[in-house]
Amino acid sequence: MSLRKVNFVIGEFYHLYNRGNSRQVIFHDTEDYLRFITLMYTCNSVNNFRTFLISKTKDQNPYAFDKGGDIVSVGAYVLMSNHFHILITENVNGGISKFMQKLSTAYAMYYNKKYKRTGGIFEGKFKSKYLDTDKYLKYMFSYIHLNPVKLIDKDWKENGLKNKDKSIKFLSSYKFSSYLDHIGEKRIQNLIINLKPFPKYFLNKKDFVADIINWLEIGC
C-alpha cells in the first residue's frame, strides 16, 4: 500500500487536485459539473452523505439539511473538463481524507451510472501539496481561479495574455469555480466556501480582483 507523502494537520492548508484516468474528460456537461459541486457540499458533513442524495420529493434542495458539522473548510475550487483543484483545510482529524473519499466515491457512482460504465474514473488517489508559507497560500487563490483562462487563451502563461478585459469577463461568467463566490455573487454555491479559517488576504472584492489581475499580467 502506498503511503501519502503529505500528512494532513488541522490548522494547515493544502492544495488538492486530481484528473481523469489517462486525462479523460470527467465533466461532460453542466449536470456533471453541478453534481460534483453539490457533492462538495453534501460530502462535507459529519453525517453519511448517502442519506442526503436520496430525494424524497422532486423539489428537495440538496443544500437544505443539517450536516451535523463540516469536516473541512474549502477556500477555493475550480472544475475543468478533465481535472479539479481544491484549496482546503481540515476541521477534524482525518477530515480531508474522509471528505475526498466520500466525494470521489459519490461522483464515480453518479458518473458510472449515467454513462453506463464501471471502474474508477480518477487517476489514482488525489494529489496534495502542503502550502507552507503565506506567499504560497495567497498565490493559490489566484492559481486555482485562473485555470479557466486556458479555455479562451490556451498559451497565455507561455506567450502572454492576449486580452485582460476579456479574460476577467470570462472568469466572471464561469460558473464552475468559486471565483463568483469571492467576488460577491449571491448563489446557493456560496455555502460551499468557508473562509473563516483562512488568513484575511483580501479585505474586499476589489483586493481579490486586483490580485487576480496582477497574476494575469505577470503569468500565474
Domains and CATH numbers, the chain: 14-133+176-198 (3.30.70.1290)
More confident residue, 64 or 40: 40
> Looking at the predicted structure, is the pLDDT value of residue 104 above 70?
yes
C-alpha cell at 126: 488525489
Tell me the CA distances in angstroms from 66 to 47, 70, 71, 170, one per residue in order. 9, 10, 13, 35
For range 117-137, the mean pLDDT: 95
pLDDT of residue 57: 46
For range 111-124, the mean pLDDT: 94
Contact indicator for 108, 120 with CB cutoff of 8 Å: yes
Tell me the CA distances in angstroms from 67 to 108, 147, 178, one per residue in order. 22, 30, 21
C-alpha cell at 141: 487563490
> Looking at the predicted structure, is the pLDDT value of residue 219 above 70?
yes
**157-211 tens-digit pLDDT:** 888 899 999 999 999 999 999 999 999 999 999 999 999 999 999 999 999 999 9
pLDDT of residue 4: 59
pLDDT of residue 50: 57
Average pLDDT, the chain: 91
**7-58 tens-digit pLDDT:** 899 999 999 999 999 999 999 999 999 999 999 999 999 877 554 454 444 5
What percent of the chain shows pLDDT beyond 90? 82
> Looking at the predicted structure, is the pLDDT value of residue 122 above 70?
yes
pLDDT of residue 5: 67
User: How buried is 213 (Cβ within 10 angstroms: 0-12 exposed, 13-18 middle, 19+ buried)?
Assistant: middle
> Looking at the predicted structure, is the pLDDT value of residue 1 above 50?
no
